[in-house]
């Protein structure tokens, strides 16, 4: 797909501004993140906790690149709804079922934008006695004024554009795209 034309049938006639990260770049970076996590956590209980819905593709690819035993679970929190900007109101929709006590937890996020959601989750998860807690984000906009904890594992810097694809959506559309694009 060209960065300026709309020939991808998955877009159903809707145009994107440009491809920000293509499939090959994403696959390479996710592999590198998996290697880093494997190196940093050689043993002990490891839980990759994905923030749904946006992280589901990222988590799926990431856990297959981590070369050690691990568990996977998910949490659902929302601050967007159908808008293109965060509402600032973080709502927990689904809580992880896995016991978090003593586990090394990698909180996997699709994109760090305002930092509110990830900060609220960090606080909630910290109260459950994990052995350690680290953030792994595919994308970071670097404008997260509410982020109180550093992103330990980062895929890519994100431009200040509304991004879709590879799990990222706009009103539930575009998640299925195998690349990350900016929306017009």
113 an active-site residue? yes
Nearest Cα to Cα of residue 107 among 85, 124, 86:
124
Global pTM reads 0.86
Which of 113, 123, 160, 173 is flagged as catalytic?
113
Tens of pLDDT, residues 156-177: 999 989 899 999 988 888 899 9
Q: Are 134 and 105 in contact (CB under 8 A)?
A: yes
Whether the pLDDT of residue 91 is over 80: the answer is no
CATH classification of 23-80+88-176 is 3.40.50.2020, yes or no?
Answer: yes
Q: Which residues sit opposite 74 in a β-bridge?
A: 50
- At 65 the three-state DSSP class reads coil
**Tens digits of residue pLDDT in 98-122:** 889 999 999 999 998 878 888 888 9
pLDDT of residue 85: 52
Exposure on the CB side of residue 129, measured as CA atoms within 13 A = 4
Residue 173 DSSP one-character state: B
pLDDT tops 60 at residue 82 = no
For the chain, state the CA radius of gyration. Answer: 16
pLDDT at 179 over 80: yes
């Amino acid at each position: 797909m060209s960065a300026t034309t709309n020939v991808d049938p998955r877009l159903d006639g809707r145009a994107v501004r440009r491809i920000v990260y293509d499939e090959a770049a994403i696959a390479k970076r996710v592999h590198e993140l998996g290697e880093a996590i494997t190196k940093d956590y050689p043993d002990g209980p490891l839980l990759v906790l994905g923030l749904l819905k946006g992280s589901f593709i990222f988590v799926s690819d990431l856990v297959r690149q981590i070369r050690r035993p691990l568990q996977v679970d998910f949490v659902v929190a929302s601050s967007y709804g159908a808008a293109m900007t965060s509402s600032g109101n973080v709502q927990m929709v689904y809580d992880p079922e896995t016991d978090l006590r003593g586990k090394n937890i990698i909180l996997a996020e699709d994109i760090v934008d305002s930092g509110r959601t990830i900060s609220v989750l960090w606080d909630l998860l910290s109260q459950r006695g994990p052995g350690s807690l680290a953030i792994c984000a595919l994308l970071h906009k670097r404008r997260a004024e509410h982020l109180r904890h550093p992103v330990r594992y980062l895929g890519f810097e994100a431009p200040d554009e509304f991004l879709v694809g590879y799990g990222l959506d706009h009103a539930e559309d575009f998640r299925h795209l195998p690349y990350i694009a900016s929306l017009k």
